[in-house]
Structure 1
Amino acid sequence: MTNHNDRGFSVATVYTLLIVIALSVVSGRIATVISREGDTPFLSANDRSRWCTIAALVENGTYQIDPFLERRGIKQNRRPWATIDLVRHQGRDGQLHYYSSKPPLLPTLYAGVYWCVSRTVGMWLSDYPIYVGRIVLWLVNVPTLFVFLLCTILAIDRITQSVWAKCFLAASVCFGTMLLPFTIALNNHLPAAASAAVVLYVYVRSLDTTTGHGWWLLAGLAAGFTAANELPALSMTVFWAGLLLLVRRPALPAYCAGVLVVAAAFFATNWIAHQSLRPPYMHRGDGDLIATLPQTNPGVEEVRSALLKQALAAEQSDIQIGPSRVPQRSRVLVDGKRQFGLIQLDDGPAQLRHWDDWYDYPSSYWVDGKRRGVDIGQPSRLVYAAHMTFGHYGIFSLTPIWLLMPIGLLGLRASRSTELRLLLAAIALATVVCAVFYVLRPEIDRNYGGVSVCFRWMLWFAPLWLFAIAGPVEWLSGRSWGRCLTFVLLAASVTSVSISLDGPWQSPWLYRFWHYLGWIAP
C-alpha cells in the first residue's frame, strides 16, 4: 500500500524523469545541429538574422550586419550568413546599412552570452560558427526550455488532484507541444513561452501561498518580456494586470514596475540600434510629408528644388530617381545615402515624403513577384482562419491535445475558485484577441508565420493552454474511455513533434502531405 508521501515522491520522480529526457533530447539535437550545406548551425533566414546581430554586436560593436551578409562559406558561391529577414536604413554615420528586422532586445541579451563564451574559448562566432554557435545555442535555449517545463508543470500540479492526470499533463508539457523543435534554433517563441509560464506559476502559487513583492516583480518582468518577444502577447500582459487589480491589488505596483523595466529596455535597445522607438517591422510605409509637387511625374530638378527648400539636399547633390516595391512610389536617392519617397497620386500632384519603408531595398525578398509559397499571403481571411485552426498549419490538427483547450477555457472544472475562473477567462479572451488579430492582418502578413512546422505566432500560449486542459484531463482520467482518448490525442501531438525535430524551419508535415496529394499548390 502506498502512502501519501510515497505517492508525492513518485510524482516528483516522474516530473524529474520527463524533464531530464526532454532536455537530453534537445541537447542531443543542438550538439548535432547543422545547416543543409554543412558550414553553420543556422537553419534558416529567421535565425541567421539574429545570429548576424549577435556576432556584429560582440565582434564589431554595432547592430549593422552588412559585413556578415557577404561572408563566404565552404563553397565560395554560398553566403551562409545571408538572410531575407533584414531591413535597410540610414545609420548614425549617415550611410545606408542593413540591420536585422527582429527587435534588438533578445539578440542583445544573447550577445552577452556570446561575449562570455568568446572570452572563455578565445574564438569568434564568425570564424568558428559551428563550434561557438552550438555552445551559445545550448546556453540560451536549454535553460529557457527548463524554465518553461518546470514552471508549467508546477503550476498544473497545484490545481490537479489525480496522480494519473499530473503525470499525463507533465508528459504533455515535455513532449506534446510544438515548442520542442524550436529549441534547436534561435527564435523568440521559446523565451516568450517560458516567460508566460513564469507569470502563470507566480499567479497560481499566490492562490495558496503568501507571495511577496519580489515574486510579483518577477511576474512583471516575465509578462513584459513575453510582450517584448511576441507583440500581440501585450494583450495578456494587460489582462494579467487586470487580474491582479481584481484579486491581488497589493501586487499590482510590483508587477507594473517589472513590466516597465522591460519596456524601457525594449525601447532603449531599439533606439540604440535604429534611432527609432518603433521596431523595424513597423517601418513598412511612407514617412512624413515634405512637399506636394504640382507636376505629374516630376523630374530630378523639381525634386531637387523641393528638397533644397527643406535643406535636405544641396545644389551639387547627386539625385537619382528609381523604382520601388510600390508601383505608385519612386525611390529618391540623394548622394547615395539619403532616401525619400516620391508618390504619384491618381490623376493629381505628386507627394515627396520621408522614406519609412525599411523593407524596400535592392534585392529585397519582400516585394511582389519574389515571395514564394505561403509567403505570398492568403487572400481569403476565411480560408486563412480555417488553415490556422484545422488545416495544414492548424493549431488543432497538428497538436490535437489542444482540442481539450476550449473545454478547459470554459472554466467548468475551476468553478470552485473565482481566481481560477478569472484566469481562464483572461486566457480565453487573449486567445480570441490574438487569433482575430492575425486573421485581420493584411494579405502580405497572412502567411501562417512563413515556412515553419506550425502556426508559430501563437506558440507562446503553450503554458496557458496546457494549464487550461488540466481540468478536462483530470475529469477524463477517472474514466477508462477518457484515458484512451487522451492517450490518442497526446500520441498524435507527439507524432507531429517527432516529425519536426529536424528543425522548426520547414513546412508542417500536413502541408507537405497535402502538397504531395496535390490538394494544395506548391
Structure 2
Amino acid sequence: MYLLVTAVAVGTSAGRLGAVNSVDMIRLERHLNEEARKQAGPDGAPRLRSLQRPFLSGNDRSRWCTVRALVEHGTYAIDDVVSQPGWDTIDMVKHDGRGKPAAGPDEGHLYSSKPPLLPTIMAGGYWLLHRATGKTLGSHPHELGRILLFCWNVVPFAVYLAILARIVERYGTTDFGRLLVFTAAALGTLLSAYAVAFTNHWPAAFAAMVAVDALLRIVCEGERRRRWFFVTGLAAAFMAACELPALAFCGLGGLLLLALAPRQTLVAALPAAVLVAVAACGTNYAAHGTIRPAYTERHVAGGWYDYQFRRGDRVVDSYWKPTVPKSAIDQGEPSQAAYAFHVLVGHHGIFSLTPVWLLSLAGLTLLVARRPETAGQGRWLAAAILASTGICLAFYIARPLEDRNYGGTATGFRWALWFAPLWLYAMLPAADALAATRPRRLLAAALLAVSVASASYPTWNPWTLPWLQVFWTYCTSTISGS
C-alpha cells in the first residue's frame, strides 16, 4: 500500500515539475492597469485591461456562451455574448435560426457548434444562481463559474468514486488490486485535468460509470428489477448523447440486456433511452431548427461553418472557412498510420500517457478468456467493452484529414476519456494478478506513477499540449538543429 501512495506522490510531483513556469496573470494585469492609470486616455479615464478569465478555451467558452444567451437573452443565439471582451470562441456556426446557412456578415445569427443539451442543463443551474444573486457570468465569471463547475464536475466525481468503490470491493480479489484501480481512478487518468472546464467529457464518464455499475448488477449479479434497467438505459443513452461514438457500447450493451431479459429491456431500458434521445433532439431543434447536429455541417461547402460575422466595425471570417489559415494541429495529421501511432503510443498516446490502461487491455483479455462455467455472463460484458473500444478507436483513426487533430490543443486524446469507467472495471483482474509478487507490484507502481504524472502535468489548464508532445517537439527540433 505504501508503494502505491509513493507512486502517486512521485507522479504528482513529476507532473507539476514538468509544467512549472512563471504564469501570474493577476500580477501582470495589476501592472498593466497601473501603467494605464499613468497614461489615461483623452477623456481622462484609464483604459483598464482584464487578462483573467476562468473559462480557459474557446471550446468551453462556446458552451458557456450558450448558457449565458439562454438565461440572459432567452435565446440560443450567442451574438450578444461573443461580442463581449473575453468571450470569444472559434467554435461557432451561423444560420438563420431555421437551419438555412447565413454566410454574409449581416445575415442570420451565431450559435455554438456544441450540442445544446449540456448547455441547456447547465443553464438551469445558472438561472437559479442568477435569480438568487442578481449577478451574471459577465459581471462575476469567477464566482458563478466556479460554483457551477463545482456542481458540474466535482460533485459527480465524488459520486463516480463512490460507485467505483462498490465495484472494486465486489469484483476485486486483493487489497493491492483494489487500491491500484481506485487510485488510478482518483489521480491517474486525464479526466481529472478537465475538472476545471465545462466539457462533455465529465458527464459522459459519469454516465458511463453509472451504466457500468447497473450493467454489472444485471449481467453478473442477476438483478432483474426494472429500476436497474431504467438506470442502464438512461445512463447509456446520456453517455452517447455526450459522446456520439459511445453509441457502440450503448448498442452492444443493449443487445446483451435484450438477450438476458428482453421484457425488462423493452419495458424499462428502451423508454429511458428514448427520453434522452428526445431531450437531445429537442434541444438541437430548438437551437438550430433541425435535429441534425451542427457537426454534420462541418464539411458542407457553403454550410454553417462557412460564414463571415461582425466584431465591432470589422468583418471577420469564420476560423473554419476553407480560405482561413488553420493552426498546425487543426490542419490534421496527413499520415493515417502516424495518427494511429500517436493516438495509441505516441505523443497523444492512450497507452503512453496513461500506461495503466495497458492493465485494462490485459484485464479484458483475461475476462474474455475465462471459461464460461466460471465467468458466467460477465465475459460477454467484457467482450462488449473490448469490441466497443476497437470500434471507437477505428472510427477516430479513420476520420478525414481535418478531423485527425487529436482533439485539438488538449492534454491527451480527450475523445477517449469516456472509456475510463469501462477500462477501470476491466483493470481489476490484471491488477489482482500483479499483487502476487514484489516485481509485479513495482511494475504496477511504475505504470501508475507515469499516469499520475501525465494527469498532473496540466496544472491549471487542460487545454495545453501533453508533456510527451512537448518533449517530442524538443527532441525533433534538437535533432534537426533548429
Q: TM-score range by the shorter chain?
A: 0.7 to 0.9
1:466 is aligned to 424
Pick from 505, 512, 520 the counterpart of residue 463 of structure 2. Answer: 505
- Structure 1 segment 114-193 matched on structure 2, within 5 A: 114-193=126-205
2:51 and 2:466 map into 1 onto residues whose CA distance is 23
Letter in 1 for 2:132: T
2:135 partner SS: coil
Q: CA deviation at 1:219?
A: 1.3
1:519 and 1:403 map into 2 onto residues whose CA distance is 30
2:118 and 2:216 map into 1 onto residues whose CA distance is 27
1:90 is aligned to 96
Q: CA deviation at 1:518?
A: 2.8
Letter in 1 for 2:304: W
Contact 1:374 1:451 survives alignment (8 Å): yes
Pick from 55, 60, 75 the counterpart of residue 62 of structure 1. Answer: 75
Contact 1:392 1:514 survives alignment (8 Å): yes
2:305 is aligned to 359
Note if 1:220 corresponds to 2:174: no
Contact 1:34 1:41 survives alignment (8 Å): no
2:253 and 2:340 map into 1 onto residues whose CA distance is 27
Q: CA deviation at 1:220?
A: 0.8
Contact 1:148 1:194 survives alignment (8 Å): yes
2:305 partner SS: coil
1:358 and 1:144 map into 2 onto residues whose CA distance is 34
- Structure 1 segment 274-289 matched on structure 2, within 5 A: 274-286=288-300
Contact 1:360 1:366 survives alignment (8 Å): yes
Letter in 2 for 1:360: D
1:34 and 1:100 map into 2 onto residues whose CA distance is 28
1:260 is aligned to 274
Pick from 395, 398, 403 the counterpart of residue 445 of structure 1. Answer: 403
TM-score by length of 2: 0.82
| Residue 43 to residue 414, structure 1, CA distance change in 2 (3 Å) | farther
When you count helix as a share of all residues, which structure comes out higher? 2
1:202 is aligned to 214
Q: What are the superposed Cα offsets for residues 131-164 of structure 1, whole Å, 9 maximum, x if unpaired?
A: 1111111121112222322223322321112122
1:234 and 1:519 map into 2 onto residues whose CA distance is 41
Letter in 1 for 2:271: A
- Deviates most, 364-373 or 81-90: 364-373
Q: CA deviation at 1:211?
A: 4.4
Letter in 1 for 2:56: L
Contact 2:65 2:78 survives alignment (8 Å): yes
Contact 1:226 1:233 survives alignment (8 Å): yes
1:235 is aligned to 248
Greater gyration radius = 1
1:153 and 1:384 map into 2 onto residues whose CA distance is 35
1:52 is aligned to 65
Contact 2:234 2:276 survives alignment (8 Å): yes
Q: Percent identical across equivalent pairs?
A: 42
Contact 1:217 1:255 survives alignment (8 Å): yes
Q: CA deviation at 1:92?
A: 5.4
2:334 is aligned to 379
Q: What are the superposed Cα offsets for residues 363-405 of structure 1, whole Å, 9 maximum, x if unpaired?
A: 1112445211211101111000000000000000100101112
Unaligned runs of 5+ in 1: 1-9, 15-32, 73-79, 287-325, 327-340, 342-356
1:257 partner SS: helix
1:290 is aligned to none
2:261 and 2:366 map into 1 onto residues whose CA distance is 20
Pick from 379, 387, 391 the counterpart of residue 429 of structure 1. Answer: 387
2:377 partner SS: helix
Unaligned runs of 5+ in 2: 6-23, 30-49, 101-106, 309-316
Higher relative contact order (Cα pairs below 8 Å, separated by 6+ residues): 2
Pick from 109, 116, 129 the counterpart of residue 104 of structure 1. Answer: 116
Q: CA deviation at 1:209?
A: 5.8
Q: What are the superposed Cα offsets for residues 251-310 of structure 1, whole Å, 9 maximum, x if unpaired?
A: 312111111100000000000110011011111344xxxxxxxxxxxxxxxxxxxxxxxx
2:177 partner SS: helix
Contact 1:34 1:42 survives alignment (8 Å): no
1:308 is aligned to none
1:518 partner SS: helix
TM-score by length of 1: 0.76
1:318 is aligned to none
Contact 1:152 1:200 survives alignment (8 Å): no
- Structure 1 segment 468-507 matched on structure 2, within 5 A: 468-507=426-465
2:261 is aligned to 248
Q: CA deviation at 1:185?
A: 0.4
| Residue 285 to residue 403, structure 1, CA distance change in 2 (3 Å) | closer
Paired residues, what number? 420
Contact 2:307 2:321 survives alignment (8 Å): no
1:66 and 1:205 map into 2 onto residues whose CA distance is 47
Note if 1:455 corresponds to 2:461: no
Q: CA deviation at 1:93?
A: 12
Contact 2:98 2:290 survives alignment (8 Å): no
Contact 1:34 1:40 survives alignment (8 Å): no
**Aligned Cα RMSD in Å?**
2.5
Pick from 388, 391, 402 the counterpart of residue 346 of structure 2. Answer: 391
When you count strand as a share of all residues, which structure comes out higher? 1
Contact 2:333 2:405 survives alignment (8 Å): yes
1:98 partner SS: strand
1:411 partner SS: helix
Q: CA deviation at 1:506?
A: 0.6
Q: What are the superposed Cα offsets for residues 48-80 of structure 1, whole Å, 9 maximum, x if unpaired?
A: 0000000000111100000111112xxxxxxx1
2:33 is aligned to none
Letter in 1 for 2:177: A
Letter in 1 for 2:434: L
Q: What are the superposed Cα offsets for residues 410-466 of structure 1, whole Å, 9 maximum, x if unpaired?
A: 134754223211011000100010011011111000001000001000110000011
- Structure 1 segment 391-410 matched on structure 2, within 5 A: 391-410=346-365
